Structure 1
Amino acid sequence: MTIHKEGYTSIALGVLFVFVLNAITHYYASENQLLTWAVYILSAFVLIALLQFFRSPKRTITQDEKIILCPADGKVVVIEETEETEYFQDRRLQISIFMSPINVHINRNPVSGIVKYFKYHPGKYLMAWNPKSSTLNERTTTVVETDGIEILFRQIAGAMARRIVWYVKEGQTVDQGTEFGFIKFGSRVDVFLPIGSKVAVKLGDKVKGGITVLGEINNEV
C-alpha cells in the first residue's frame, strides 16, 4: 500500500494542522486532561482519514480488448438508458459508480484506445447521486475510441469533492486500467455505452476500479 501523489499536499497540510492544534492545546490547556485527550483523538482521526483516503493499493490489471473495466471503486447506483447530450447526441446506456469518502479515489481507463474528445466543465457541487449532477456539477468528459467503438466516461464532483484531477488529453493513446484521473473526497463516475451492450454488473454492486468488469464490447452494436 502506498500513498497517491495527489495526497502529498493534503497530508502535509493535515500534519501541520495537527501539529499546531496540539501545540496550542499543550500550551493553553495542558491541565485539562479531557480536552487534551479529545484533541489527541481528533488529531489521530484526521491523519488516519487522510491516509486511507489517499491510499493507492497495488493492483494487477488484466487487460482484455473485449471487456470494459470499471473506472472507479464504489457502488453501482445507475444502470439505465438515457440521452447523452454533450458528445453523442443520442441515447446511450449509462452506468454510474458512486464513490464515498472511504473508497479509493483513483480513476482508471475502462478501455484502451485513442482519446477522441476531452473537455473540462466548471459547475456546481450537488450531491453526487442527484441525477442533475451529471450535467450541472463540475465534471470532465472523456471519449476513447477502441476497435471502432467510442466509450464515454465522465468524472463528476460531488458536495464534498472540490477538485477533479485528470491526466489525459485529446489524441493521446491510453491503456486499459491505467490512471486517467483522481477526484477528492466523494464523487461519481459515469460510463456511457452503446445501447445493446452486455452489462456484467447490477444495481447495488460494490465494484473496484481496474478489476471489476462492467460489460463487454459488442462490435455488432
Structure 2
Amino acid sequence: MSSEKIYLTRREQFSTANRLHSYKLSDLENEHIYGPCNNKYGYGHNYQLDVTICGHIDKTTGLLMHLTDLKSLIHENIIKQLDHKHLDYDIHYFKDNGQVSTIENLCIYVWKILYDAIQKYKIDNNNHSLQLYEVKISETDKNSVFHLDAQSKRQTSICSPPFYSSSTVYKMRVRLYLDGDGNARRTHMSLFFALMWDVNDTILKFPFNHKVAFRLYDQTPVP
C-alpha cells in the first residue's frame, strides 16, 4: 500500500418523495416551520449524491477501490432502496422511527447504510485502509448537506515548545499524536522529534544522524 492517502468521489442521482412533518409538533407548528414542504400530499426532489472514500493506493493495481465496485455498492445499498420511493411510507428509518424526512436526516441515513457496506467491503477484499470519508446530498444547486467522518480527518498534534540539544545545538521540538499517525492510527500514540530551522544551521552537519533517547514518566499523584 502507498503511504499517501487518496480521496475518491463517486456521484449518483436519485429521486424521492416526502413530507416534512414532525409528530412532536402541532399541525400549526408544522405548517409554520416547514411551510409548503408540510403539504399533506408531499413533494418530490431530484437529489445528487456524492460519496467520497479515502485510503491508500494498492501498489499492484494503482487503485484505491475499483470504480465499478463503488458504483455497484452505492446502487445496491442506496439507489435501489431510495429511488422513486416515498421516504415516509417506504423507508423504515423514517416510517417507523419518527424521523422527519429532512435532507439532514436523509444524509445521516445514507451515511449509516454506506458505512456498514464499506466496512464489509474492506474486510471481504482485504483493503484495510479503505474508509468512508464523506457523504454529500444536494437537493438544489444552492442547498446541500454533508456528513463527514471525523476520524478520517488528519489528527491534531500536540507540540512542545522549541528547545536545543545540549551538545550539538540543533533546534527541535517534540510532536505528539495521541491517536497515532500514519500506520499507527488508532492503535498507538505517535511521538516525533522534529528539527526546526535556526540561524546555527549553517555550521551544523546534515542530515541529522544522532541518536535520540527519551523517557516516559508516570506523573500520576501517589495517594
- TM-score scaled by structure 1? 0.24
Instruction: Choose between structure 1 and 2 for higher RCO, CA contacts under 8 A separated by at least 6 residues.
Output: 1
Query: Greater strand share, 1 or 2?
Result: 1
Larger Rg: 2
**Of Structure 1 and Structure 2, which has the larger fraction of its residues in helix?**
2
* TM-score (ref. length: structure 2): 0.24
